[in-house]
């Protein structure tokens, strides 16, 4: 049996290769309430990472570059992020997978899906505002998933709240221990720099920094006698006092606690003026968790497990409007990905060849030959992949599904122009597949028009805009007077048994499952109370092996 030792040797070699790859990979999502500066920080991280040479702006003036991660036309028009973006780049010996997410609550499904693919989260706060509602919600999702959280207080170039008070708010309200890695000296007009506690140096802020290019910081040591000349006296004394408080009363940095999501390293800076960005990036790379184990129905899968596996967390149509492409975003979880490899598709049981894999950089893509755990790659999706699908080699496994949210707004989407029937159908199918919006249908077979079911109004606007812009169809929206949806856990059978129900209508989701819509929570509770056999559920049960119905 001469093959066995050879196989064992190959396996050991692969394991070593995987371990090295994992050691050099960092994957993180940036999360926060709208407008805290996620996209701006992302752009500056790309600048310092050497991935771009000139930073664009979220609200670009004419002849100015747009931010790389807000590539969609509607994002650029409105100056907000609508869909999450993946950016891969190399920096200082690391391969970084950065996920910029939208903050608006109407797009939170997209953000939640993206968090499923992240090993670390960077939580941004506007230093003038502190903790905001959407940040709290996203923090809860990170906590549920046990993701390490890094905090960046942004917009220090504007008047902000006291740094100690900001940290205290996190400790008190999120129950998260804090450790300040750097510390600001003044804010707003009097923002003079940040102190790097790792190297015990002060980085002086220069207001002239324009922001589109890297700034070279002036750095002085804490013991340098020039400090008193370079900083305003009162700020310097305030800083000394703060530092004493931190060193006396603050906790020590404990990376185990950070990796368990119980302690957050804290940074201060101003993404717009590039200040504190490089200091953040360097410390973050040292402290962040490497690609970690992922939960599956076969238990925890280690990244160095030799068989390739991964899952789809996001789909996006028309990233390249010229080619009308559909891309599936795959998070590699274990083993080595190789171009053209043939894998099994857990939901359908089919085998799929993974040709034309792509490295992602906002809207831009390049082909790639291999990828490792922690990487996010793009694959062409001719309708094979759905959100949550697992692909694997070797023994069958499935990663935890990604649930859909309970929608709160409903409207018929109509196509007033019969000659556009084909485009309408294609648009609805692809946007449904993406999860840009959920699609339901009347239980009455005669009514074939799709019902858009959304978490927020902006989702409707995005669908109508994209239907027109990407599929050439002007659509009409006909709102329905419902605000609560419940999946019938007992299925059609239970519904039949229950007989006539009042104050509700029955619709079908895209998998043909019954869903009840109610005008209000009260009606819902009444039906639920009187018909326990229906087993009403606010979140769609995650299923495997089912194909969505044709639009
Ligand atoms: N003064 C100041 N403004 C900033 C800073 N960082 C970002 N901004 C501005 O804040 C606004 C929002 O920034 P974005 O980067 O789009 O915020 P976001 O968190 O990505 O927003 P959404 O993706 O829509 O949730 C823009 O006008 C930025 O120019 C900063 O450090 N200082
Ligand atoms: Mg953004």
What is the pLDDT at residue 256? 97
> Ligand 1: residues within 6 Å at CB?
32, 34-40, 58-59, 80-81, 102-104, 154-155, 157-158, 270-272
Residue 404 is predicted with a pLDDT of: 76
Atom of ligand 1 nearest to the CA of 81: 23
223 plus 301 within the same structural domain: no
**pLDDT 10s digits, 370-381:** 999 999 999 999
For the chain, 551 residues long, give each residue's pLDDT as a single digit of tens.
445 667 888 889 999 999 999 999 999 999 999 999 999 999 999 998 888 888 888 877 766 788 998 999 899 989 999 999 999 999 999 999 999 999 999 998 899 999 999 999 999 999 999 999 999 999 998 998 899 999 999 999 999 999 999 999 999 999 999 999 999 999 898 999 999 999 999 998 876 555 777 777 788 998 888 888 888 999 999 999 999 999 988 889 999 999 999 999 999 999 999 899 999 999 999 999 999 999 999 999 999 999 999 999 999 998 887 778 899 999 999 999 999 999 999 999 999 999 999 999 888 888 999 999 999 999 999 889 999 999 999 999 999 888 778 899 999 999 999 999 999 999 999 999 898 899 999 988 888 899 999 999 999 999 999 999 999 999 999 999 999 999 999 999 999 999 999 999 999 998 899 999 999 999 999 999 999 999 999 988 766 555 666 65
Strands (E), 44-112: 85-91, 94-100
549 located within any domain? no
pLDDT at 447: 83
3-state SS assignment for residue 132: coil
- How far apart CA 174 and CA 193 sit, in angstroms, is 28
Largest CA distance in the chain: 84
Q: How far is the CA of 535 from the centre of ligand 1 (A)?
A: 44
Q: Which residues pair with 359 in a beta bridge?
A: 366, 377
- Residue bearing the CA closest to ligand 1, atom 12: 35
Q: What is the DSSP letter of 270?
A: B
- Residue 2 domain-assigned? no
How many angstroms is it from 36 CA to the middle of ligand 1? 5
Burial-class residue 1 by CB neighbours within 10 Å (0-12, 13-18, 19+): exposed
Other CB atoms within 10 A of residue 464 CB: 18
Q: Is 537 helix (H, G, I), strand (E, B) or coil?
A: strand
Has residue 472 been placed in a domain?
yes
Atom of ligand 1 nearest to the CA of 273: 31
Q: How far apart are CA 464 and CA 255, in angstroms?
A: 46
Domain stop point among 287, 318, 350? 287
Structure tokens belonging to residue 62: 């004419």
pTM: 0.92
Question: Do 90 and 201 lie in a common domain?
Answer: yes
- Ligand nearest the Cα of residue 79 is 1
CATH number at residue 328: 2.40.30.10
**Claim to verify: residue 37 and residue 159 sit in the same structural domain:** yes
pLDDT value for 2: 46
Beta bridge partners of 537: 487
Which CATH number characterizes residue 189's domain?
A: 3.40.50.300
Place of tokens 């910029």: 100
Q: How far is the CA of 31 from the centre of ligand 1 (A)?
A: 12
Ligand nearest to the CA of 211: 1
Which of the ligands is closest to the CA of residue 106? 1
Q: Crossing angle, helix 108-115 and helix 133-145, to 10 degrees?
A: 30
User: 263: CA distance to ligand 2 center in Å?
Assistant: 25
Domain extent at residue 383: 294-392
**Ligand 1 center to 330 CA (angstroms):** 28
Ligand nearest to the CA of 31: 1
Report how far ligand 1's centroid is from the alpha carbon of 337 (Å). 36
Shared domain check, 211 and 91: yes
- Give CA separation, 467 vs 39, 85, 422, in Å: 25, 21, 12
**Which atom of ligand 1 is nearest to 80's Cα?**
24
Is residue 401 domain-resident? no
Please report the atom of ligand 1 found closest to the CA of residue 36: 19
- Do residues 126 and 141 both lie within one domain? yes
Of 287, 304, 333, at which residue does a domain stop?
A: 287
Task: Count CA atoms closer than 13 A to 502's CA, side-chain side.
Answer: 5
pLDDT the model gives residue 493: 96
Residues 351 and 432 in one domain: no
Q: How far is the CA of 203 from the centre of ligand 1 (A)?
A: 22
Measured from the alpha carbon of residue 212, the closest ligand is 1
Same domain, 377 and 435: no
Chosen domain end from 362, 392, 422: 392
- Ligand 1: which of 32, 34, 39 to mutate, judged by most atoms within 8 Å of the beta carbon? 39
Domain match, 471 and 532 both = yes
If asked whether residues 370 and 232 sit together in one domain, one would say no
Strands (E), 393-526: 409-414, 438-442, 451-454, 476-480, 484-488, 505-508, 514-518
Q: Which atom of ligand 1 is nearest to the CA of 32?
A: 19
Six-digit token string for 246: 């931190």
User: Quick check: is 210 in a domain?
Assistant: yes
> Which token pair is 467?
């239907």
CA of 80 to the centre of ligand 2 (A): 5
Query: 283 and 313: one domain?
Result: no
Give the count of domains, the chain: 3
Distance 103 CA to ligand 2 centre (A): 7
Please report the pLDDT score of residue 548 as a whole number: 61
Residue of the CA atom closest to atom 23 of ligand 1? 81
* Per-residue model confidence (pLDDT) at position 56: 85
186 located within any domain: yes
CATH number of the domain within which 467 lies: 3.30.70.3280
Does residue 404 form part of some domain? no
- Between the CA of 269 and the centroid of ligand 2 the distance, in Å, is 17
- Residue of minimum CA distance from atom 4 in ligand 1: 272
CA 42 to ligand 2 centroid distance, Å: 9
- 397 falls within a domain: no
Same domain for 263 and 142:
yes
Q: From atom 9 of ligand 1, which residue's Cα is the shortest distance away?
A: 37
Q: Counting ligands in written order, which one lies closest to the CA of residue 104?
A: 1
Residue nearest to atom 8 of ligand 1 (CA): 37
d(CA 301, CA 89): 25
Closest CA to 382 of 350, 404, 413, 334: 350
Question: Ligand 1: which of 30, 39, 40, 61 to mutate, judged by most atoms within 8 Å of the beta carbon?
Answer: 40
Q: What are phi and psi of 490, to 5 degrees?
A: -75, -5
Q: Residue 98: what pLDDT? A: 96
Residues 41, 83 within the same domain:
yes
489 CB-contact burial (10 Å; exposed 0-12 / middle 13-18 / buried 19+): middle
């Amino acid at each position: 049996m001469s093959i066995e030792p050879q196989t064992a040797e190959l396996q050991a070699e692969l394991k070593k290769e995987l371990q090295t790859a994992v050691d050099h990979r960092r994957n993180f999502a940036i999360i926060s309430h709208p407008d805290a500066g996620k996209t701006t920080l992302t752009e500056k991280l790309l600048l310092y990472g050497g991935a771009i040479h000139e930073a664009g702006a979220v609200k670009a003036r004419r002849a100015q570059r747009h931010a790389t991660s807000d590539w969609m036309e509607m994002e650029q028009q409105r100056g907000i992020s609508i869909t999450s973006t993946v950016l891969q780049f190399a920096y200082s010996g690391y391969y970084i997978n950065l996920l910029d997410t939208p903050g608006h609550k109407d797009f939170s499904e997209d953000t939640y899906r993206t968090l499923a693919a992240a090993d670390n989260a960077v939580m941004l706060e506007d230093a003038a505002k502190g903790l905001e509602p959407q940040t709290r919600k996203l923090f809860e999702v990170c906590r549920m998933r046990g993701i390490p959280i890094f905090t960046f207080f942004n917009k220090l170039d504007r008047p902000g709240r006291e740094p100690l008070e900001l940290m205290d708010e996190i400790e008190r309200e999120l129950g998260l221990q804090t450790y300040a890695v750097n510390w600001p000296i003044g804010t707003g007009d009097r923002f003079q720099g940040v102190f790097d506690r790792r190297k015990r140096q002060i980085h002086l802020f220069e207001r002239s920094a324009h922001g589109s290019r890297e700034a070279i910081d002036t750095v002085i040591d804490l013991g340098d006698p020039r400090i008193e000349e370079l900083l305003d006296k009162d700020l310097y004394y305030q800083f000394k006092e703060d530092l004493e408080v931190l060193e006396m009363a603050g906790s020590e940095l404990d990376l185990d606690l950070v990796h368990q999501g119980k302690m957050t390293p804290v940074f201060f800076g101003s993404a717009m003026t590039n200040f504190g960005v490089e200091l953040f990036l360097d410390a973050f790379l040292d402290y962040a968790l490497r690609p970690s184990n992922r939960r599956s129905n076969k238990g925890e899968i280690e990244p160095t497990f030799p068989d390739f596996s991964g899952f789809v967390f996001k789909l996006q149509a028309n990233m390249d409007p010229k080619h009308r492409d559909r891309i599936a975003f795959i998070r590699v979880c274990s083993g080595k990905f190789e171009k053209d490899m043939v894998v099994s598709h857990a939901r359908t049981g089919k085998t799929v060849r993974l040709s034309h894999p792509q490295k992602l950089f906002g809207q831009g893509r390049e082909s790639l030959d291999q990828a490792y755990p922690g990487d996010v790659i793009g694959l062409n999706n001719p309708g094979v992949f759905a959100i949550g699908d697992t692909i694997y080699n070797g023994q069958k496994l499935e990663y935890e599904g990604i649930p859909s949210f309970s929608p709160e707004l409903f409207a018929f989407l109509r196509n007033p122009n019969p000659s556009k029937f084909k485009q309408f159908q294609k648009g609805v199918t692809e946007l449904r597949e993406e999860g840009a919006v959920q699609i339901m249908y009347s239980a009455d077979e005669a009514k074939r028009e799709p019902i858009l079911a959304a978490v927020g109004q902006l989702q409707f606007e995005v669908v109508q805009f994209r239907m027109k812009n990407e599929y050439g169809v002007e659509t009409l929206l006909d709102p329905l007077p419902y605000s609560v949806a419940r999946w019938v856990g007992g299925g059609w059978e239970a519904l039949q048994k229950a007989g006539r129900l009042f104050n509700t209508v029955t619709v079908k989701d895209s998998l043909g499952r019954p869903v009840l819509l109610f005008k209000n929570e009260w009606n819902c509770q009444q039906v639920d109370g009187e018909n326990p056999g229906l087993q009403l559920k606010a979140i769609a049960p995650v299923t495997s092996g089912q194909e969505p119905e044709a639009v």
